[in-house]
Amino acid sequence: MTTNPITTKRTSRVRYRVVAFLVAMAAVTYLDRVAIATLAPQIMRDLELSQIQMSFVFSSFTLAYALFEVPTAWWGERIGTRKVLTRIVGWWSTFTIATGSAFNHASLLGIRFLFGAGEAGAWPNAARTFSRWIPAQERGTVQGIFFAGAHLAGGLTPALVVWMAQYLHWRAVFAVLGSIGFIWAAAWYRWQRDEPTDHPQVSVEEAEFIVTNRGGGGAPHSGGRLWGRLFTHPGVLALYAAYFANTYGFYFLITWLPAYLEQRRGFSAGELSLFAGLPLILSVAADLTGGVTTDWMARRFGVRAGRVAVGCGAYAAASVAMFAATSAASARTSAVLIAAAAAASMFTLGASWATAIEIGGRNSGVVSAAMNTSGQIGGILSPIVLAFLVDRFADWSLPLIVMGGLYAVAALAWLVIDPRKPLLDR
């Protein structure tokens, strides 16, 4: 008598463990990514770097991330996200540790470029995993939980790194943080499967529920038509515009926000560790509520209304808050308004990634990657534009005005998006 490798336990909820694994990955991602902003003053001092040079260090990571994002997502669609995410986390952990070995500007640029090349594809491969494991009606909520884990880690990182730096040199801090990812990669590769029907702990009932409700079945499309539609589909182009604004603002938070609070607003070291992390801490609540809200509205009013109302409304609120931050008389009020604007922009993430999966269908990984790549272009420009504006005009308000304008454009872009119109025929 043969034994079915799939257990018949009706209480199987393995898909939620997959979500927990990916939330942990997101947390480690931001822990490693955000640390360099907090340690930037020590790095600049030891390596004798200017503010402009440090801005290029920040952007070298993002440039590589953008270049390798779509190819790595395509790779995940071909060989499976279990293998690809294992490689991604192992690679970026190696170069987090290697950051501590930098000895001049060129070496730091090269290491951070390779860091970005390795981390590229993490988000779209997570989205691809969700598209195979999570029923459509749960995706906005799950994406919100995913980003909440990332932003919670990012929000706590400044305080954690400030504490570690009291006892360790900045080089040792990178060594400690980088080692965590190897534990995740080993556990993920051993436990995960690309399809719920292949996992020995998934019940027949759970596997059937997932497969029946996930949509986008079949093998991914390939060829010139796929790549052409990535540059002509109106909804996808609008997603690019909105996500450009989101990531442009986010990279301000994880690169130059500490310097803004210290140099423009005069925060002390104690206040700095609190207010530099505040935007990402508030974003945790925004991620969770945004994901739940978009799923609830999609069920109640239809998928387009559920996604567009969240995207358009939240970016409009972010724009208003960011413009208000530029003219706030109180330093703390300005910091809180920046945090509120950031949280409002992150409120859209559940809707954004759920929409990328819905439009992408079989090619959800590639569409997610293309959207995220547009965001990384914003991330490349963000620290460089800020450094040049401040250097040229000596006015820290100008970068905030730029971000407020981009959020307004994102709100308008969402009016064009319709998740019901797929990239290609399914």
Interval 105-121: pLDDT, tens: 999 999 999 999 999 98
Q: How far apart are CA 407 and CA 244, in angstroms?
A: 9
5 lies in a domain? no
- State the average pLDDT over residues 84-107: 95
151 lies in a domain? yes
Total domains in the chain come to 1
Q: How far apart are CA 108 and CA 59, in angstroms?
A: 12
Do the beta carbons of residue 191 and residue 320 sit within 8 Å? no
Give the distance from CA 400 to its chain's centroid. Answer: 21
Taking every pair of C-alpha atoms in the chain, what is the biggest distance, in angstroms? 78
Query: What's residue 232's pLDDT?
Result: 92
Query: What's residue 376's pLDDT?
Result: 85
Give the distance from CA 162 to its chain's centroid. Answer: 23
Do the beta carbons of residue 127 and residue 201 sit within 8 Å? no
27 lies in a domain? yes
Query: What's residue 292's pLDDT?
Result: 92
Structural domain range at position 364: 14-214+224-416
Determine the Cα angle at 278 with ends 179 and 372, to 5°.
Answer: 65
For residue 9, what pLDDT band results from cuts at 50, 70 and 90?
A: very low
7 lies in a domain? no
Q: State the sign of the Cα–Cα–Cα–Cα dihedral 184, 253, 272, 291.
A: negative
CATH number at residue 136: 1.20.1250.20
Give the lowest-confidence range in 62-76, 131-145, 212-226: 212-226
Tens of pLDDT along 218-268?
Answer: 556 555 677 888 899 999 999 999 999 999 998 888 788 877 787 777 776
Do the beta carbons of residue 200 and residue 5 sit within 8 Å? yes
Query: What's residue 8's pLDDT?
Result: 40
Do the beta carbons of residue 223 and residue 356 sit within 8 Å? no
Q: How far apart are CA 159 and CA 157, in angstroms?
A: 6
Q: How far apart are CA 256 and CA 11, in angstroms?
A: 47
380 lies in a domain? yes
2 lies in a domain? no
6 lies in a domain? no
192 lies in a domain? yes
pTM score:
0.77
For residue 140, what pLDDT band results from cuts at 50, 70 and 90?
A: confident
Asked whether the predicted pLDDT for residue 354 surpasses 70, the reply is yes
Burial class (CB in 10 A: 0-12, 13-18, 19+), 217: exposed
| 49 phi/psi in degrees, rounded to 5 | -105, 145
For residue 216, what pLDDT band results from cuts at 50, 70 and 90?
A: low
Share of the chain above pLDDT 90, in %: 50
The structure tokens listed for 98 are 């290697």
Q: How far apart are CA 134 and CA 18, in angstroms?
A: 9
